[in-house]
Chain A
């Protein structure tokens, strides 16, 4: 079945440093979604990318969808303590469900 892999599993940065998490799918995706889960919280939708090579920005967050639509990345510029959490990518299946990656946990030290 479809697999979505994320690296790294954990990342610990100093506040102000940049952060990137990568997502790779075993199959071509029609779109990819990103979610953020704060410690003790629930996943919250961030964004969806649909087009090959698409780049979207949300303030300090930059999301990219690969040309082959099999990989994606999330880059955070100048991390803040409010960025702490686990970031998940997810790709749709043909059954109208999502396959989630295992997530990248971001820790930010002040």
Chain B
């Protein structure tokens, strides 16, 4: 099992360019997530998909769009990149939550994006 895979690993964009970050998981997980990580800011949720066919905004959704293509794949699109979107982007997946316990999240290796 590859777990969670992300492409590309690195990307440099000019302001105004667009791009799509790809994420796929092979663990048959229902839920998938996109985070961004900036120094001193921890992990901030951009968008998530609790199950195939649904997507919802997280803490910092502005400037991003997502598509849950199928159960395996969840992509993140930057329509018009800005320098403020320079960050490390992580995709994660998890099984269905049944409180009080929660399934742990499995993270991909990340995409390091620089917008100049």
Q: A43 touching B102 by the CB < 8 A rule? A: no
B108/A42 in contact, CB under 8 A: yes
Interface flags, B97-114, vs A, CB<8A=1, else 0: 101111011111110000
Interface 9-residue window, one of A55-63, A73-81, A93-101: A93-101
**A92 touches which of B56, B90, B97 (Cβ 8 Å):** B97
Q: Is the interface of A mostly helix, strand, loop or mixed?
A: loop
Q: Is the CB of B107 within 8 A of A96?
A: no
For the A-B complex, the count of residue pairs with Cβ-Cβ distances under 8 Å equals 59
B residues less than 8 Å from A48 (CB atoms)? 101-102, 104
A38 to B97, CA, bound (A): 26
A14 close to chain B: CB less than 8 A: no
Given contacts A96-B97, A97-B33, contact A88 B42 (CB under 8 A): yes
Q: What residues of A have a CB within 8 angstroms of the CB of B2 in the complex?
A: none
